[in-house]
């Protein structure tokens, strides 16, 4: 009996999410898929979810394989666009990947200081002859590489600087570019 998980492709995963949006509902009780946004790369797409009562919306960037910081920045960018389109609705962002490396989990935790964003790791398995999927939250490891965190902070700052000046998030850029990471310890 072969216990190797089946190979997952973006089209199959998107179909599973359309049928069962709770898979990536990031805490939503009964999310509804508003739309799936394809990417030029075959292993990536975004999903916009909404709460059925017209409540919060979630922008979820899905990437097969390993997550990276670019995926997080795409999620934040898409989130910013959605917020501008519907400013009276609460918005959240998330990334979903088969593997979320510690450095990406740390970058998401850093981004969480300015935006509601989560990281989910997708587990792929086989259940009753069908694909079994589960996405669970990823927490950053307690220790981190200060140089990598500084690089993440600078990338996040460049993202904020790229926003429309009228976006409230753009106002979060303050002071000179950091050269060391302020951990708030003292």
What pLDDT is stored for residue 29 in this prediction?
A: 76
CB atoms within 10 A of CB 66: 12
Cβ–Cβ under 8 Å, residues 70 and 35: no
pLDDT in tens, 102-142: 989 989 998 988 889 999 998 887 666 666 777 888 888 87
Q: Which residues of the chain have pLDDT under 70?
A: 1-7, 25, 126-131, 143-144, 168-186
Cβ–Cβ under 8 Å, residues 112 and 95: no
Cβ–Cβ under 8 Å, residues 6 and 131: yes
3-state class percentages of the chain: helix first, strand second, coil last, to nearest 5: 35, 30, 40
Global pTM? 0.82
Contacts of residue 127, Cβ cutoff 8 Å, sequence gap at least 6: none
What domains sit in the chain, N to C, each tagged with a CATH number? Answer: 10-141 (3.40.1350.10)
- Lookup: tokens for 44: 């990536």
What pLDDT is stored for residue 45 in this prediction?
A: 96
Would strands 117-127 and 91-99 be described as parallel, antiparallel, or unpaired?
parallel
Residue 121 to residue 95: CA distance in whole angstroms: 8
Query: Which residues are 36's β-sheet partners?
Result: 47
Tokens 């790369």 correspond to: 41
Which of 84, 81, 78 is CA-nearest to residue 39?
Answer: 78
């Amino acid at each position: 009996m072969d216990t190797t998980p089946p190979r997952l492709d973006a089209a199959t995963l998107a179909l599973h999410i359309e049928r069962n949006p709770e898979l990536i509902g990031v805490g939503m009780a009964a999310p509804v898929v508003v739309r799936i946004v394809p990417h030029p790369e075959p292993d990536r797409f975004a999903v916009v979810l909404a709460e059925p009562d017209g409540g919060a919306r979630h922008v979820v960037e899905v990437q097969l394989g390993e997550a990276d910081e670019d995926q997080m920045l795409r999620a934040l960018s898409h989130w910013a666009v959605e917020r501008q389109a519907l400013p009276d609705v609460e918005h959240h962002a998330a990334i979903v990947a088969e593997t979320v490396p510690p450095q990406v989990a740390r970058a998401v935790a850093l981004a969480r200081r300015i935006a509601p964003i989560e990281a989910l790791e997708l587990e792929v398995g086989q259940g009753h002859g069908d694909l079994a999927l589960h996405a669970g939250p990823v927490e950053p490891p307690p220790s981190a590489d200060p140089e990598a965190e500084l690089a993440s902070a600078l990338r996040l700052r460049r993202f904020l600087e790229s926003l429309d000046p009228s976006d409230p998030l753009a106002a979060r850029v303050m002071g000179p570019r950091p050269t060391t990471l302020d951990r708030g310890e003292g």
